[in-house]
Amino acid sequence: MTTVDEHARTIERMLAGPLGLAGTATGTGTETVPLTDALGRITAIDVSAAVDLPLFRNSQMDGFAARAADLVGAPVSLPVVGDVPAGHAQPPALARGTVTRIMTGAIVPDGADCVVPVEDTRLSADPGFAGLGSPDSSSSDPDSTTTHAGASVTITIPRVAGDFVRERGSDLRRGELLLPAGQRLAPRHLAALAAGGHNSVLVRRRVRVAVITTGAELAPAGAALESGQIFDANLVALSAAVTEAGAELVLAESSSDDTGAFLSILKRATRTANLIVTSGGVSQGAYEVVREALEPLGAVVGHVDMQPGGPQATAVVDGVPIVCFPGNPVSTQVSFVVFLRPILRRAAGLTGLPPTARRLAGPVESVAGKRQFLRGRIRDDGTVETVAGAGSHLVAGMARADVLLDIPREITDLAAGQDVGAWVL
């Protein structure tokens, strides 16, 4: 019987090319997206800065732009000849022996080589400058550029050239590497792109996944049920799981047990998807639609040494890989976590979320001869305990779990305090 690890490797090998898993290859293609849609996407190529960062020489403080040479022997009193708020065009060059009022982010005039923070200044009494350097004032006019006329300022401590001046290009120069290819875009990367002159970015296309559930008994969630029907839980579970793993859901449909109907959905899926996931119809009975439709097309159908999730199949149709999970809702969900989630997450630039060791809160029994994935819950103290039974139909019990406890096939008894592998859900 195939082991879990062998089946995982089979699926990984099957998906490596179509999903572009090797290196920075873009097996799924590329597309340009606006920055507003780029969160979580992965850069397809190196991106360089389209402008210098900072764009121009600007002030790091609210205060006065000055020449350090004029401040030697401070305190010194100097005439204020201008006012440069952020957003104003290039101011005139600063004459020797003068200062200009300046705000954080504003262009530092040529001739000035330092900025004196307002806290290190005293403004001479001048009604036009009320508010600057006197926090209790209420009559300042921040929009005015002319209120400085006749004012002078006393600078209380000297400065050296470069103080509180942010030089053009000191963060990054135009043309230099802003973000490498393969970068998953978080808010800080989007900030760098926007500041660096971009409003869109070339990213890898997400893996496009089609989900097809099968079973004559399935009715859409919320539908009026006929006798013998049940609500389709796997369609919403797999669709959500695909999206959560960073892939793009391109088709989500349910098929009857008629092979013609199934193959017609499958054919449509092969035209848009990089990967097709099916649920149900792969075990030993009659009406096993996935098995009946895909075996003639070369599907490998078998049993993996695990519970839940034993019956599994893989196929490639029209070049598109198909991963087939068993229909029981817990089996389908466990299969996704173990076999597809790691691959899809890595393709999306996320960590694969492998199992981690967790301490058992109490003893656990397991069935010999099969690797068990038991539903577990993390307690407040970080230890884990089982919830719900082992049955793979226990869809409500699965919803109470937040980990899968991974019990090796040869283990039948685990004691409280022992470590166990846990896959976070």
Q: Could you list the residues that contact ligand MOO (CB under 6 A)?
A: 307-311, 326, 328, 331, 392
Using CB under 6 A, pick the residue from 196, 329, 342, 376 that binds ligand LQZAQKY5. Answer: 329
C-beta of 281 vs 311, nearer to ligand MOO = 311
Q: State the minimum distance, in angstroms, from the CB of residue 388 to ligand MOO.
A: 14
The reply on whether position 292 binds ligand LQZAQKY5 by CB under 6 A is no
Residue 335 interacts with ligand LQZAQKY5 (CB under 6 A): yes or no: no
- Residue 85, CB half-sphere, CA atoms under 13 Å: how many? 10
Segment 39 to 98, residues that bind ligand LQZAQKY5, using CB under 6 A: none
109 contact, one of ligand MOO, ligand LQZAQKY5, none, CB 5-8 Å limit per kind: none
Residue closer to ligand MOO, measured from CB, 281 or 308: 308
Residues with Cβ within 8 Å of residue 223, at least 6 apart in sequence: 231
- In the complex with ligand LQZAQKY5, the residue whose CB is nearer, 83 or 232, is 232
Cβ closest to ligand MOO, residue 109 vs residue 311? 311
Closer residue to ligand LQZAQKY5 in complex, CB, 21/219: 219
Contact of residue 94 among ligand MOO, ligand LQZAQKY5, none (CB under 5-8 Å per partner type): none
Choose among 260, 347, 259, 274: nearest CA to 316: 274
Does 218 help bind ligand LQZAQKY5 (rule: CB under 6 A)?
yes
The answer to the question of residue 113 lying near ligand LQZAQKY5 (CB under 6 A) is: no
Residue type, 161: A
From the list ligand MOO, ligand LQZAQKY5, none, partner contacted by residue 102 (C-beta under 5 to 8 A by kind): none
Q: Measured between alpha carbons, how far is 176 from 149 in angstroms, rounded to an integer? A: 43
Q: Is 280 in the site for ligand LQZAQKY5 (CB under 6 A)?
A: yes
Task: Find the shortest distance in angstroms from Cβ 181 to ligand MOO.
Answer: 40
Min dist CB 331 to ligand MOO, Å, is: 3
Specify whether the CB–CB gap between 158 and 72 falls below 8 A.
yes
Report the residue from 70, 83, 113, 288 that binds ligand LQZAQKY5 according to the rule CB under 6 A: 288
Is 282 among the residues that bind ligand LQZAQKY5 (CB under 6 A)? Answer: yes
* Distance of alpha carbon 350 from alpha carbon 282, whole angstroms: 30
Size of the site for ligand LQZAQKY5 (CB under 6 A): 27
Site for ligand LQZAQKY5 contains 265 (CB under 6 A) = no
Instruction: Give min distance, CB of 271 to ligand LQZAQKY5, in A.
Output: 23
296 binds, among ligand LQZAQKY5, ligand MOO, none (CB under 5 to 8 A by kind): none
Considering only residues 52, 70, 83, 232, which one is a binding residue for ligand LQZAQKY5 as defined by CB under 6 A?
232
Residue nearest to ligand LQZAQKY5 (CB): 327
CB nearer to ligand MOO: pick between 1 and 149: 1
Per CB under 6 A, residues contacting ligand LQZAQKY5 are 213, 215, 217-218, 230, 232-235, 279-285, 288, 308, 310-311, 326-329, 331, 392-393
